Amino acid sequence: MAPTNCKRDGKAGFTIVEALVALTIFGIGTIMLMQLAPKATQFSTQARVLGKANALAQAKVEDLRSLPRLHDDLDAGVHADPGNPIEDSFERTWEVTNDDPVVGMRRVEVRVRIQTARSDSVASLVTYF
């Protein structure tokens, strides 16, 4: 039996140009994904810091609720935490307003400022008692 001649019709495999185009597209996609990693880290860090600020505000509200009604920290006005700055980067203050929203109640707003240059660096928590 005679060997069969195999003809190539030019459609088998990739050309070098097609391979280079595919590698270029893959490389551009990889570079774009690599640029997202630092942003993801930045957002994660910011979320962690804001979470800590919210926890500090909630802790102060709980402390204030446990005080006797006539304690100095519950007098009307703005008060500052004696431990400021907390952990070298948080500053906690609270403002007490008497007879708000009704006579006999106090409105207490606790603010925790994160010491950064950003304008959105304050966590605020409002409660009434």
Q: What is the pLDDT along the chain (129 residues), one digit of tens a residue?
A: 555 555 555 566 778 898 899 999 999 999 988 888 888 888 888 888 889 999 999 999 999 999 998 999 999 999 999 988 888 889 999 999 999 888 989 999 999 998 776 656 888 999 998
pLDDT of residue 86: 87
Domain residue ranges of the chain, discontinuous segments joined by +: 16-128
pTM (global) more than 0.75: no
Q: What is the 3-state secondary structure (H, E, C) of the chain?
A: CCCCCCCCCCCCCCCHHHHHHHHHHHHHHHHHHHHHHHHHHHHHHHHHHHHHHHHHHHHHHHHHHCCCCCCHHHCCEEEECCCCCECCCEEEEEEEEECCCCCCCEEEEEEEEECCCCCCCEEEEEEEC
